[in-house]
Amino acid sequence: MSPSLNTDAKKTLLRKIPHGVFICGVAEGEVINGFTASWVTQGSFEPPLVVMAVRADSTSNGIIQRTGRFSLNVLAADQKDLAAVFFKPQKGIGGRFDAAPYNLGELGLPLLSDALGGVECELVGQVNHGDHTVFVGEVKTAQLNRDGVALELSATGWTYGG
C-alpha cells in the first residue's frame, strides 16, 4: 500500500524548519545576477560544503549549471529591504545590483559590500528532482565585511516553504 501524505500537516511541519535569508550571486561572462535564497544550509565541515535549493525555472539556475559556481552573501538583520529587491522582478538581468554595491571575488562572483560577508563556491554535486535543483557547493573563498546578527526568515514575516 502506498503511503498517504497529509498535505496540511506536511506544510505546517516543513514551514517550521528555520531558515536564514541570503543573496545568491552568479556570473556568466559579462552578465551577473543575484536572487534571494532561504533554502540554504551547511553540508560538511571538511571540505566546507553548503547546500542550496534553486527554482528549476529561474534565470540563476541555468547560470549555476553552466558555470559550476555561485556565491552566497549573508545579510544583516536590518537588511530586509535589500532581500526584497533581490526577489522582485528586475528590468534587466543583473539590474538588482543597482541597489547594492558589490565587488567580484576571486572566482568572479558578486559579493555585496554591505552584507555581513559572502562565500564563493564551486559546484560539486546536484539533485534534479522536483521544482527546485539541490546544489552542493564547496566553499573556496570567504570575505567577512563585518560581524553581526544575520537576517532570519522568521523575522521578516515572509514564508518560503511548505
Is 58 one of the binding residues for ligand FMN (CB under 6 A)? yes
> Which residue has the closest beta carbon to ligand FMN?
60
Around 155, how many Cα atoms within 13 Å sit in the side-chain half-sphere? 14
Is 38 one of the binding residues for ligand FMN (CB under 6 A)? yes
The H or E element spanning position 10 is helix 7-14
| Among the residue ranges 57-65, 71-79, 122-130, 138-146, the one whose residues contact ligand FMN (CB under 6 A) | 57-65
CA dist 137 and 42 (Å) reads 9
Residues 85-104 that bind ligand FMN (CB under 6 A): 87
Which residue blocks in 22-126 are alpha helix, DSSP H?
59-67, 80-85
Contact 132, 54 (CB under 8 A): yes
Biggest CA–CA distance in the chain, Å, is: 55
The burial of 93, by beta-carbon neighbours within 10 Å (0-12 exposed, 13-18 middle, 19 or more buried), is given as middle
Is 71 one of the binding residues for ligand FMN (CB under 6 A)? no
Which of 25, 27, 32, 39 lies at the binding interface for ligand FMN (CB under 6 A)? 39
CA dist 128 and 13 (Å) reads 23
Which of 25, 27, 32, 60 lies at the binding interface for ligand FMN (CB under 6 A)? 60
Is 54 one of the binding residues for ligand FMN (CB under 6 A)? yes
Which of 35, 70, 102, 135 lies at the binding interface for ligand FMN (CB under 6 A)? 35
Is 53 one of the binding residues for ligand FMN (CB under 6 A)? yes
In the complex, least distance from residue 1 CB atom to ligand FMN, rounded to whole angstroms: 34
Cell readout for 121 is 563556491
Q: What is the x/- site pattern for ligand FMN, positions 2-31, by CB under 6 A?
A: ------------------------------
